[in-house]
Amino acid sequence: MHKHLQESALQRMTRVVAIANQKGGVGKTTTAVNLAASLATAERRTLLIDADPQANATSGVGIERRALSASLYDALMDGEPIDRVVRRGVHLSYLDVVPATQDLVGAEIELVNRPGRERVMRGVMASLKGKYEFVLIDCPPSLGLLTLNMLTAADSVLIPIQCEYYALEGLSQLLNTVKLVQQNFNPALAIEGVLLTMHDNRLNLSRQVAAEAQEYFGNKMFGSVIPRSVRLAEAPSFGKPILLYDVQSVGAKSYLALAQEVIRRAAALPAAPATALAVGEALA
């Protein structure tokens, strides 16, 4: 009885967050890996799903792609139970990972002819609900069927924005896609938050992007900002989240702070499914 209660409480709490921006190189994977590790360090059961054929999150946590017997592709396209694809306790006991391989390139094409092609991932995820407090999905840099599947399977979308020229360009396209998913496949999809990455406070440009993003997104902006940090860029080549590579670095501290913010926001959510937020209006 007690166990049952605990499980149903956990079930309510599972939050599936897709990390998406069709723009390349904005810090999606860095955020997915390091936010996942930070949540796991805070003893939140966390699953990191690599949904990008580039498989950067997979190698970023030190999983050898060539040694993989099963990946997200098998769960998505071949009906392999996702439980059998999950790698448990990756670096941290609270961190599990669903790895990706290049096979996923094929999924993007093969999905086209599937009935209910946008909802395949949602079906795959059903058995995971309740087993984790947080599921983070690293999306590829496109708005194709893989990303549509991830948004349809998610409770919310976290949007990293690189503090660079043209940072906000293309965001209205992303927000339109979110709206399309809300209208057609997943009415409860919310905006988890917008995250500034690679921020350099000494640069006028960074400050400008921050101010503009604040204007568009208001309270959807995360208070935590990820600074540009060489240590964050180095960590993946050692197959480690920043916390295990250089815990003292500003990068590690900023992702730990982001994790606390994500935990606080999740705790403040109503127990019932959140109502869809009106998104995209600011940029309309």
The option from Mg ion, ligand ATP, none interacting with 53 (CB < 5 to 8 A, set by class) reads: none
The option from Mg ion, ligand ATP, none interacting with 27 (CB < 5 to 8 A, set by class) reads: ligand ATP
Sheet-wide strand order for 134-138: 95-98, 46-50, 134-138, 15-19, 156-162, 190-197
Residue among 52, 133, 155, 246 that touches ligand ATP (CB under 6 A): 52
Residues 146-175 that bind ligand ATP (CB under 6 A): none
Query: Considering beta carbons, is residue 56 or 249 the nearer one to Mg ion?
Result: 56
Q: Does residue 29 bind ligand ATP (CB under 6 A)?
A: yes
Q: Yes or no: say if 28 and 20 are a contact pair by the CB < 8 Å rule.
A: yes
Residues 223-242 that bind ligand ATP (CB under 6 A): 226, 228-229, 232-233, 236
Instruction: Cite the beta strand spans of the chain per DSSP E.
Output: 15-19, 46-50, 95-98, 134-138, 156-162, 190-197
Query: Considering beta carbons, is residue 158 or 178 the nearer one to ligand ATP?
Result: 158
Q: How far is CA 148 from the centre of its chain?
A: 13
Give the footprint of Mg ion on this chain (CB under 5 A). Answer: 28-29, 56
Q: Does residue 206 bind ligand ATP (CB under 6 A)?
A: no
Q: Which amino acid is at 126?
A: A
Residue owning tokens 């769960």: 75
How far CA 165 is from CA of 70, 161, 210, 248, in Å, comes to: 39, 11, 12, 30
Q: Which amino acid is at 253?
A: K
The option from Mg ion, ligand ATP, none interacting with 38 (CB < 5 to 8 A, set by class) reads: none
Rounded Cα distance between 197 and 150, Å, is 22
Question: Please, what is the minimum distance in Å from the beta carbon of residue 226 to ligand ATP?
Answer: 5
Q: Does residue 26 bind ligand ATP (CB under 6 A)?
A: yes
- In eight-state DSSP terms, residue 120 is H
Q: Does residue 133 bind ligand ATP (CB under 6 A)?
A: no
Residue among 58, 177, 197, 224 that touches ligand ATP (CB under 6 A): 197
Rounded Cα distance between 100 and 131, Å, is 20
- Chain residues binding ligand ATP by CB under 6 A are 24-30, 52, 54, 56, 141, 197-198, 226, 228-229, 232-233, 236
